[in-house]
Amino acid sequence: MLTLANSALLSSLYDSHHWLLKLMETSKHMPVHNGALLEEEVRLSGANNTGISASDFLRKSGGVTVPNGIIRVSGAKNAATRLMAAALISDDPCYLSNFPTELVDVRHKARFIESIGGSAVFHADTDALAIDASQLGSIQPDSYSVPIRTTYLLAAGMLKRFGFARIPYPGGCKIGSRGYDLHVMLWEKMGCKVVEAADYIEITGTPRAFDVSFPISTIGGTENALICGSMLEGRTTIRNAYISPEVANLIEFLIAMGARIQVVGNSFIEIQGSSTLRGTTFQVLPDRIEALTWIVFGAISRGNILIQDVPFGHMEIPMVHLREAGVDVFRNSHDAYVCPQSFINSTIQPFEVACGTHPGIISDMQPFFVLLALMADGISRIYDYRYPERTAYLEQLSKFCPGAISWEPGKIVVNGRASLQGAEVVSTDLRGSMVLLLAALIAEGESKIHNIQMALRGYNNLLSKLDQLGISLELGNE
């Protein structure tokens, strides 16, 4: 593999891109424009500070869009939203850096936190969030409508202080069966009573340390057990835990607050919790799914994209599969450069991948391998054993290339060498929405994507980052 250390060779290979190669050598010393639209310090007001509603759409006109520029990967959505909830069990303020301040999901969660007396202050210029739960009250919000999945993590902070919590029902993307029964089981093991009301879940009782053995490997259950166990005096154990990079980031945060946590193997966790937890300053890890998104976009568009802050340590197997598909990116320890020469045999090769659990290709990455397969030189197959019902977006994606994709639960077959034509489509879920947007950008003709807010749930400063790549889109309202 060529590396950035061999800059002389790269320069000789890519004289036409000399300016970008120079940026690659010095990228760690350059200030990065994050396109933030907020003032230096903004307190949340309103449900959605992105200014984009569920009825909005994006329109792309003209021919194929070839990206050219620099992108910095933001903090991971699946870590940031969990750290927000974990900060509620601290007795002091917490400061989260590398925080994706413009994500729709974090804005929804911050709105709820403030509605129950907490404080969430976004610092857009430094990509940070200051969160203070010391004034959390037993007041009830005006609305329990919070369209995110991880509402169950909000219960711990209220249970610690009052022995009482009312939380919204989990929302989020509809990609199969993802119930909350494991969380009910968890709360009951803590000694709490759970009542499912019309608009909210009510948990009452004095929680105590517990032992839990999950019947299935569960990220959400592991996160909830970690947060609850860390605030309870005594020994808590978690069996059949799912320790993803984002869960590991949560563990590091809880340890920084004062919990003692030991991980044995890859599925057993022991916690010595404490009723007194200190505030801390902590960095959100970069988003591996966003990093993969931009790498795939660079490959299918044959553009020139320098991607900064790529968490390669958490992407080893996906990167192996990309290379086996003929995509060989230029990289150093933290950055990746994708260009027309990043192909082993000048084309994307057909492939087979199976989506499951980390450290492999996770289900959230599945749509991007489907999109990559559309540009491959042959038939590819993608299997999803984690969420076999993650197929709703495929009907919409097929409108760009009728007949190129066939699917059944758990299995997707893609006929490559597809010629994408502009289409009018509707977003169905977060990752699927982003794939529809990328497909529109490489398709000939005009495309229109409805409910584009779906993509903004998972991609921080998305429209600004596209602008940095030279991509202009029309935003409209139905």
Which positions are annotated as active-site residues?
A: 173
DSSP conformation class of 326 = T
DSSP string, 173-232: --SS---SHHHHHHHHHTT-EEEE-SSEEEEES-----EEEEEEEEHHHHHHHHHHHHTS
- Pairwise CA distance, residues 167 & 152, whole Å: 7
- Pairwise CA distance, residues 434 & 310, whole Å: 18
Read off the amino acid at residue 392: A
- Pairwise CA distance, residues 350 & 344, whole Å: 13
Read off the amino acid at residue 67: P
Tokens representing 332 are: 């150093």
Cα dihedral 384→388→390→391 (10° resolution) = 100
- Pairwise CA distance, residues 431 & 228, whole Å: 29
Burial class (CB in 10 A: 0-12, 13-18, 19+), 5: exposed
Nearest to 460 by CA among 78, 152, 69: 78
Letter string b/e over residues 295-328, b meaning 16 or more CB atoms within 10 A of that residue's CB:
bbbbbbbbbbbbbbbbbbebbeebbebbeebbbb
Neighbouring CB atoms inside 10 A of 174's CB total 12
DSSP string, 136-156: --S---S------GGGGGGHH
Interhelix angle 245-257/219-230, rounded to 10 degrees, is 0
Burial class (CB in 10 A: 0-12, 13-18, 19+), 35: middle
Max intra-chain CA distance, the chain: 68
